[in-house]
Every structure is written in structure tokens, then in C-alpha cells.
Amino acid sequence: MTPFTRLDAKAAPLDVANVDTDQIIPKQFLKTVDREGLARGLFYDMRFEVDGSPRAGFVLDDPAFKGAQVLIAGDNFGCGSSREHAPWALLDFGIRCVISTSFADIFYNNCFQNGLLPIALPRDQVRALMGEAKGGNHVFSVDLETQTVTAPSGQTFHFDIDPGRKEKMLGGLDAIGETLQAADDISAYEARRALDQPWLEAAR
């Protein structure tokens, strides 16, 4: 997993509340466990007409927001069904951070497991960031170490994050990576167990 320390990037405003995981990545794109290639399905029904032609006006397809790595969203982002493909699709598109007033619990947890930083801020602060993002072609700074978001105007907002999750994001550790930090201890335990309980090894 790619570590998240500081991100200086354009932000795209998605001023829509209650964006659910089916809107983020519709069900027809869930047939794969490959994390690459999911960008084509991100917000598919918002970006494309029924016939597959591009739908005019979607923010992430606007040249002013090309390459945006921060998404500033409406309330209750990531609600709906549980699907890890949602953060995968956002990351595959290039989004590294999502800012909203609130997130659905399962989506929020899945973000941390995949290196996507979800930031919850009070509504007035999200609205202020949204307003600045709507101009396009402006750089926002997200600093995980200091837990701050700085807008192009210089306004800086502090966000809260669980210390354990913060350390894992800074270190680029998902659940597997965290476990592998104890690889030597795990190997030592297995060696001791093989000597003390050899019948368990025979049953493997």
C-alpha cells in the first residue's frame, strides 16, 4: 500500500449528498478482483448516458479538474452496500483523499485498508473548501502528519483521525502489511510449536 504523508493536488467538488457505493462503482463492474481498470466504472451512471456516450458536465471529466487527487463531497459519502471496489475505483482514477462531513462506516474502514484517506470535517468547513475547489486548477494541501487541510486561500482546517490508523497510513500498512511486521515473531512461534506439538504439523 502506498504511504500517505502529504498530498499537494487539485481538488474536485462533487456537491452531491448521499452518494452510495453503487453510484461510486456500479454492480456490473464488480466481476473482477483486480484493482486496476476500475477507473472506467467510477461514477459511471453520472459520467455516461445509457448508450455509453459521455454525459456533459460531470466534474471529474471537466478539463479544469483533470488530475484531481482530492474529492470534496457532499454529506454521507459512501453509504449503501459494502463493496471494497469503491475505494479501489477511486484510487485507480487517481483520487487519494476524500473530504466530506460524514462517511458510511464500512466505506470509511475500507478506505484505510486501501490507502485512501477519508477526512471528516464540519459542514461549514467542507462548504468553504467546496467553494474554493469550484474555481478549478487550484492546489490544496493535505498533511496527514499535522492532520491539516489547507485551501488555496491559505485557510487551514484540522481533522481528527484515530492514531493507529494514522500510523498505518503514514507507513503504508494494510492489514497484511501490519501482520508482516511481526513476521519474525510468527516464525519463531511456529518453530516452537512444531517442537512442542509435532502432531499438529503432521496433520497439516
Q: Answer whether 12's CB lies under 8 Å from 65's CB.
A: yes
CA distance 26 to 1: 24
- Residues with Cβ < 8 Å from 132, sequence gap 6 or more? 11, 138, 140, 151, 152, 153, 155
For residue 108, the Cα-to-chain-centroid distance in whole angstroms is 8
Q: Which domains does the chain have, with CATH numbers?
A: 6-173 (3.20.19.10), 174-204 (no CATH)
Q: What is residue 52's predicted lDDT score, i.e. its pLDDT? A: 86
Q: What is residue 182's predicted lDDT score, i.e. its pLDDT? A: 47
CA distance 134 to 132: 5
Q: What is residue 34's predicted lDDT score, i.e. its pLDDT? A: 79
Q: What is residue 104's predicted lDDT score, i.e. its pLDDT? A: 96
For residue 68, the Cα-to-chain-centroid distance in whole angstroms is 13
Residues of the chain with pLDDT under 70: 173-196, 199-204
Angle at 7 between CA 4 and CA 10, to 5 degrees: 140
What would the pLDDT profile of 93-103 be if each residue is shown by its tens digit? 999 999 999 99
Q: What is residue 60's predicted lDDT score, i.e. its pLDDT? A: 93
Q: What is residue 193's predicted lDDT score, i.e. its pLDDT? A: 67
DSSP string, 158-179: E----HHHHHHHHHT--HHHHH
